[in-house]
Amino acid sequence: LEAEAKSSLVTFLGKLSNNNGQLDPVWNSTSDPCLDQWKGVTCHTHQTVKSINLTRFDLSGSFDVTSLCNDQSLASSLSVLILDGNNIGGDISDDIAKCKHLTRLQLSGNQISGIVSGSLSMLNNLKRLDISYNKFSGNLPDLSRISGLILFLAQYNKLTGNIPTFHFSNLEQFNVSYNDFSGPAPDTKGRFPDCYLGNPKLCGDQLANKCPPSNSSSENKKSKKFSKNQILMYSGYAVLAIVLIIFIIYKLLKRKKTEQKAAAVNKVASIDDNIDKPIVASTDQYKTVETRSEISFVSGDQSAMVSTSLVVLTSPEVNGLSFEDLLRAPAELLGRGMHSSLYKIMLENGMVLVVKRVKNWAISSSEFKHRMQRLDQVKHPNVLSVLAFYSSQQEKLLVYEYQQNGSLLGLLHGAEMGQAFDWSSRLGIAASIAEALAFMHEELSDDGIAHGNLKSSNIFLNKNMEPCISEYGLNMMENNQGSSSLIVNDGFKGTTGVGSSSAFKADIYGFGVILLELLTGRLVQNDGVEELTRWVHSVVLEEWTAEVFDKSLISEGASEARMVNLLQVAIKCVNSSPETRPTIKQVAVMINTLREEEETSLISQA
């Protein structure tokens, strides 16, 4: 283990045992936590600490989150922290947010006090959070953005105020009994019957203490009256605005005519000038882009035509972004396909964006806008949001944040060249993608919006090195309304059928291929998708299964049983008959079970 990480770990462990000064004999700076297998500490390939499990170690010092999570190496590797059944005091400092990779934080049965830090809600990967039987007080933060949380236990503390809502359908265990909560208890939909016991100030339909009827109806009337006056006032403004817009459009059209005449003589530099030049754009790391000069990403006549039509979605990151800002910024071509080009744009304020320019997409403007708005409503931390968009009949522009850590394809390419990409990171990435996709599929199933083009070059690593699915909902096959799209139909993937359910099944296929890439280290980009799946099938049929896995996974000693299990999931996903493929929710459950098993085995090694 790196010296700095070791010293942070020694400080953390030292503080846990300060009362009786009883360090475990090997917890000191002269030995190595990984090589000397410190009690309670599990490492990965002798280099990084994966888990700390000090259940019932008779510890009584204080919980020093800062030493642990301020160390970059520990913070980026630690996934399990269990201190159950000790006598540890202190509090949860906000630095906990830096331990980004925690999937389990279990502190049950200690003396930890203070408020429950709102920074816990930054731990996107958290699955289990147990703070029961401690001395926490104050309000509980809203943890609903941790979409994968399956366990939340906070019974027997001194928590007060309202209980925030949770995704009860995702939770397997939930308990906030014997605290001092008040106000309406969130509806658990009939689950966790005893979870609110011992909170006499709570009320709700599922409790003996019903909530008093709200007096909001009279307030509503007042506000309705008030809003009538407002409506009158605003309609006045609206009329004025419409007159103003008509005037501007008139002026713009006039200017456009003049410019069109001038354009014949004086052409504005545009990407259309070099549309026929061959561009080889492959992965982030291996792209060879011929046109690297600063160019405008829209043609000159458009810039005159639409100065106000960029729709900035709710993303606070680009608040105030205008079409002019995009036009003014230097653009670098990152890649060009049959129907689309991708540009990297650097704004004056230093923000780096990418703009996807899609041409001749047979989707109506209103349907496209509706889709963008739905995608804006359904956000997941592991799915890259569209920040802004523009739509005309000929082309659509979509703006995303630039991801400087590259794509999963780049990571696999690196692994091909011998860079470390270990088994538990691969499993973690697979689980996060599956969960994010399950969330999107569930939320957008009624709208028929699937990803449509899921592949490892569309998965990026964000600044915390967590996977992020890009271009969700962009390439859709024929939808319910019958408008066609960009995707090249492929019988094998199962995208030839009309209707949105086959688009969802095509995503499962795409995900299965990503799993195969993660397991085998062989890339579709080199082999072709059908070749890869055929090869895997043939290897499995011949029962030389171990041969199929990436050699680096075998040599790091990854669990063959779990790799075989993941391979079975992948094979189900790439089944040539779309109906036989599992749903992404089923896939996510299977992969999560494997991830849990992996963690349990790490803990038991400790």
Q: Return the number of the residue (384 or 548) whose C-beta is nearest ligand ATP.
A: 384
Let me know how many helices (H) and strands (E) the chain has, helices first: 15, 20
**Rounded least distance, CB 351 to ligand ATP, Å:** 13
Ramachandran area for residue 176 (φ above 0: left; ψ -120 to 50: alpha; else beta): alpha
Confirm or reject binding of residue 525 to ligand ATP (CB under 6 A).
Answer: no
> Counting beta carbons within 10 angstroms of the beta carbon of residue 393, is it exposed (0 to 12), middle (13 to 18) or buried (19 or more)?
exposed
- When the beta carbons of 125 and 283 are compared against ligand ATP, the nearer one is 283
Closest distance of CB 496 from ligand ATP, Å: 18
Please list every residue from 286 through 325 that binds ligand ATP, using CB under 6 A: 287
String of contacts with ligand ATP for each residue 240-279, x by CB under 6 A: ----------------------------------------
578, β-bridge pairs: none
Judged by CB under 6 A, the chain residues 273 through 292 that form the site for ligand ATP are 281, 283-284, 287
Collapse the DSSP code of 319 into the 3-class scheme (helix H, G, I; strand E, B; otherwise coil) and give the result: coil
* Closest residue to ligand ATP using C-beta atoms: 335
Structure token pair of residue 376: 């804006």
Alpha-carbon distance of 16 to 22, in angstroms, equals 9
Q: Reading across the β-sheet that carries 352-359, which strands appear in turn?
A: 311-312, 388-391, 395-401, 352-359, 340-346, 331-336
- Alpha carbon 206 to its chain centroid, in Å, reads 34
Residue from 54, 57, 66, 67 nearest 22 by CA: 57
CB of 298 to ligand ATP, least distance (A): 16
At 419, list the tokens.
């860079």
* Min CB(574)–ligand ATP separation in Å: 19
Cβ 343 to ligand ATP, closest distance in Å?
Answer: 9
Angle (CA) 470 476 481, round 5°: 140
Quick check: 512 and 573 in contact, CB under 8 A?
A: yes
User: DSSP letter string over 12-47?
Assistant: HHHHHTTTTT---TT-STTS-TTTTT-TTEEEETTT
What Cα–Cα distance (Å) separates residue 4 from each residue in 9, 14, 67, 68, 159?
Answer: 9, 15, 11, 11, 37
335 binds ligand ATP (CB under 6 A): yes
- Tell me the closest approach of the beta carbon of residue 486 to ligand ATP, in angstroms: 8
CB of 281 or CB of 351, closer to ligand ATP: 281
Provide the minimum distance between the beta carbon of 581 and ligand ATP in the complex, in angstroms, as a whole number: 21
Stretch touching ligand ATP by CB under 6 A, among 53-61, 181-189, 451-459, 500-508: 451-459
Alpha-carbon span 499 to 495, nearest angstrom: 9
How far is the C-alpha of 502 from the C-alpha of 16, rounded, in Å? Answer: 55
Extract the tokens encoding 355.
């703009």
By CB under 6 A, tell whether 342 contacts ligand ATP: yes
Q: How far is the CB of 282 from ligand ATP (least distance, A)?
A: 6
Sole window of 166-174, 331-339, 364-372, 433-441 interacting with ligand ATP (rule: CB under 6 A): 331-339
Query: Of 9 and 387, which has the nearer Cβ to ligand ATP?
Result: 387
Q: Does 510 participate in binding ligand ATP (rule CB under 6 A)? A: no
Q: Which is nearer to ligand ATP, 57 or 511 (CB)?
A: 511
| Helix or strand run (H / E) with residue 352 | strand 352-359
Regarding 340 and contact with ligand ATP (CB under 6 A), the answer is yes
> Segment near ligand ATP (CB under 6 A), from 9-17, 94-102, 161-169, 396-404?
396-404
Gap between the Cα atoms of 105 and 330, Å rounded = 45
Burial of 555 (0-12, 13-18, 19+ CB in 10 A): exposed
Site size for ligand ATP (CB under 6 A) = 20
Q: Is 500 among the residues that bind ligand ATP (CB under 6 A)?
A: no
Q: Give least dist CB 329 to ligand ATP, A.
A: 15
Rg, C-alpha atoms of the chain = 28
Are 566 and 430 in contact, with CB atoms under 8 Å apart? yes
Nearest distance in Å: CB 249, ligand ATP = 33
Length of the chain: 606
Count of Cβ atoms closer than 10 Å to residue 400 Cβ: 20
Q: Does 553 bind ligand ATP (CB under 6 A)?
A: no
Q: Counting Cβ atoms within 10 Å, is residue 213 exposed (0-12), middle (13-18) or buried (19+)?
A: exposed
φ and ψ at residue 2, rounded to 5 degrees:
-55, 145
337 binds ligand ATP (CB under 6 A): yes
Q: Which is nearer to ligand ATP, 195 or 342 (CB)?
A: 342
Site stretch for ligand ATP (CB under 6 A), options 35-43, 62-70, 385-393, 398-406? 398-406
Question: Is residue 106 close enough to count as binding ligand ATP by CB under 6 A?
Answer: no
Q: How far is the CB of 274 from ligand ATP (least distance, A)?
A: 16
Q: In this chain, which of 75, 354, 375, 587 binds ligand ATP, going by CB under 6 A?
A: 354
- Considering the complex, state which of residue 102 and residue 411 has its C-beta at the smaller distance from ligand ATP: 411
Say if residues 159 and 178 touch (Cβ distance below 8 Å): no
Q: Is 402 a binder of ligand ATP (CB under 6 A)?
A: yes
Whether the CB-CB separation of 188 and 174 falls below 8 Å is answered with: yes
Pick between residue 283 and residue 299 the one whose CB is nearest to ligand ATP. 283
- Nearest CB to ligand ATP, comparing residues 181 and 343: 343
Dihedral (C-alpha) 293, 297, 300, 304: value to the nearest 10 degrees? -140
The answer to whether 585 is a known ligand-binding residue is no
Taking the complex as a whole, the smallest distance from the CB of residue 73 to ligand ATP amounts, in Å, to: 26
Contact between 186 and ligand ATP by CB under 6 A: the answer reads no
Binding mask 471-490 for ligand ATP (x = CB under 6 A): x-------------------
Residue in 63, 400, 421, 423 binding ligand ATP, rule: CB under 6 A: 400
> What is the pairing mode between strands 201-203 and 180-184?
parallel
8, 470, 500, 592: which one contacts ligand ATP (CB under 6 A)? 470
Annotated binding site for ATP: 356
List residues near ligand ATP by CB under 6 A. Answer: 281, 283-284, 287, 334-335, 337, 340, 342, 354, 400, 402-403, 407, 453, 457-458, 460, 470-471
